[in-house]
Chain A
Amino acid sequence: MRLTYVFQRVVLLLAIMWMAASINFVLPRLATGRDPIRERILSESARGGGATNIGMTEMVAEYRKQFGLDEPLPKQYVTYLWNTLRFDLGKSLSNYPKPVMRLISEALPWTLGIVTASTLISFTLGTILGALIAWPRAPRILQYTVPFLLTLSAVPFYILGLILIYFFAFQLKWFPIGGGYPIGTIPAFTLAFFGKLVYHALLPSLSMILASTGGWALGMRGMMVTIQGEDYMNYAEAKGLPDRRIFFGYAIRNALLPQTTGLALSLGHIVAGAGLVEVVFGYPGIGSLLGESITRFDYTTIYGIVFFLIVSLGLVLFILDMLYPLIDPRISYE
């Protein structure tokens, strides 16, 4: 029974990938009246000095052949899907002939680093804080954090990023203005370089942590208030269990279920926010790569990134979905 469900979910994941790829294939071809190859050659030759139309038609034809654009559409489609399946997302237009997949895989570790770290930290912090705020026998002083959290949760990541840059990097100069590591250093697997990495990642991560902790805390607070009205909470009191045990084993344990669903639902929001934070901080991740590609009209890279994001979100949701029965025994996918 379990296996059938896993199988269904895998099929769904593949379907999402196929749809994402198909949209990527169709969209550029819908832009009628534009010829990307011709435009590209024109802009390249213009940069080389003096635009010329001599041999243009031949050149365009040659390139079209190279990109396979002279083939019939169905054949192009099959080739495209096959390439996508092999993670070949084509070559970047602005960094020609660098493959898009190479660009993505170079940028990915940066994004993965700060997004994972700050999401884990803010989720954990916010969840515990929210649980304590709602707990009658926790220190009352925590109540005063609520207005502060409410404000923070309403501020978008990137605005907070700009504020942090202004004060801590620009005015106080405690942190670098941007970048993933100091310009001029060569990435290496040394402790010193790792320290520099963390130092550069601190401010962008902080803006994401500050902006999202409030949301997690408020969500958790609401959940905890609801759960305290449940019969099993009263019964836990009647059993004479110590407060700590009831808090962790009964209240948090049950409130965590909707909270985890919340995490799954807001993944897209987190990734989008992280992208903007990267742009603000000039952090060399996927967000910045996407930003640059947009300004340079690097279509292949843009499509590649969008495809990649869709697939990875699908993948993370798939993993969360598979983990859900572990935290909630009532869900067994039977």
Chain B
Amino acid sequence: MTAAASQSAGQAATLRVRNLRVDYFTDAGRLRACDDVSFELGPGQRLGLVGESGSGKSTIALALMQMIRPPGKVGGQVFVENDELTAMNDAEIRSARMRLIGMVPQAAMSALNPVIRVRAQIADVLQVHEPSLTSAQVRARIAEVLEAVELRPEVANLYPHELSGGMKQRICIAIAVALRPKVIIADEPTSALDVVVQRQVMDTIGRLQREMNIAVILIGHDMGLMAQFVDHLAVMYAGKLVEIGPTRELFARPTHPYTHMLISSLPTLGQKGVFRGIPGITPSLLALPSGCYFRTRCPHAMPVCTERAPETTSHGSDHASACHLADVEGGLAGRIAIEAGSATVRAGGFE
């Protein structure tokens, strides 16, 4: 899929991902957790990456950081501005991590080394990437980044077990922005936090990325959170990018049935009592159906969906999806409109 999420075509993209592919070679066979994924991200853009558990979101994050380890194998290209991460040797990629491409880990609760102080855990990133810093400068920078994430400087003297979940997540954010990288990948940064803290942490991430003009990839399941936070949305299913585009447009005019189902599974106040999940389960990456991977759960599946995988079709400058409905008159919207008549009859009461 080659949709460009970059708004202005003339401007060089901050992050360019081309045909990214990750295979895990397990005892049960080869498993493609990331299948030919391509997208671009402009400076200061926010891209949300959604999809069910196991769809390959964290795999993309690890592949972008060049952290896929055996039995995994990566193909394709990743560029941050003009540097190709996929062409770097071990020393170069280590120096690129956190400096060009930062990361807020999925497991912030356990991501900090339990036996050393917060100060040392921020200092080691600074010292490794900017060896010319004096210890006084390191000290000042630590205070500075802690302030940036709204923590008191004394927090540096604490050990991870002395911090709350929200504080740990803030420390991870402080580390991610300490070197002002071009891109930050935040893998479900708030999934372990309560709603109030979640909100505050997202505000902090948003403010810092705006101030520093960092491009952000936010990984998560929560479509509600995505709607508020990101300007572009990428939807993954079974290792494939099935739809990508501006968030508003995706919510208003989804072109892939899976995206549509994700959006309509969001609870709204008007639909009290109705829980609409997505029926069926994600197919195993080891036994994928022929043609379109989503056809086993797709309400609009057609004969052609069994025969061949859908091509990526563009629906505007930076909106694209991979579904055979693009070839059908009226597309997904047309299909939904046809079915809407019978649906309103059923929506009378509690289901």
Contact = CB atoms under 8 A, between A and B. Distances in A.
Tell whether A pairs with B: yes
Interface of A: 230-232, 234-242, 245, 249-250, 253-254, 257, 327-330
B107 interface: yes
A329 B161 contact: yes
Contacts of A230: 110
B124 A241 contact: yes
A330 B158 CA distance: 11
B112 A232 contact: yes
A242 B116 contact: no
B97 A240 contact: yes
16 contacts: A231-B107, A232-B110, A234-B67, A235-B111, A237-B67, A239-B175, A240-B93, A240-B95, A240-B99, A240-B129, A241-B124, A241-B125, A249-B124, A254-B113, A257-B115, A329-B114
A277 B125 CA distance: 49
B74 interface: no
Contact of B97 (A231, A239, A254): A239
B149 interface: no
Contact of A330 (B67, B96, B159): B159
B128 interface: yes
A249 B97 contact: no
A240 B161 contact: no
B98 A239 contact: yes
Given A239-B128, A253-B113, 10 more contacts: A231-B109, A232-B112, A234-B105, A235-B172, A238-B67, A238-B105, A249-B116, A253-B116, A329-B114, A330-B115
Contacts of A328: 115
A239 B110 contact: no
Contacts of B105: 231, 234-235, 238
B114 A254 contact: yes
B18 interface: no
Contacts of B117: 329
A283 to B, nearest CB: 39
Contacts of A249: 113, 116, 124
Contacts of A239: 97-98, 124-125, 128, 175
B11 to A, nearest CB: 27
Interface string B144-188: 000000000000000101000000000010010000000000000
Contacts of B124: 239, 241, 245, 249
A328 B159 CA distance: 10
B214 interface: no
B65 interface: yes
B221 interface: no
Nearest to B65: A238
Candidate in A232, A236, A240, A330 with the most chain B CB atoms within 10 angstroms: A240
B158 to A, nearest CB: 9
A240 to B, nearest CB: 3
A245 B124 CA distance: 9
B163 to A, nearest CB: 12
A196 B220 CA distance: 70
Contacts of A327: 115
Contacts of A241: 94, 124-125, 128
Given A231-B105, A329-B161, A240 B111 contact: no
Nearest to A327: B115
A232 B128 contact: no
B103 interface: yes
A232 B103 contact: no
Nearest to B121: A239
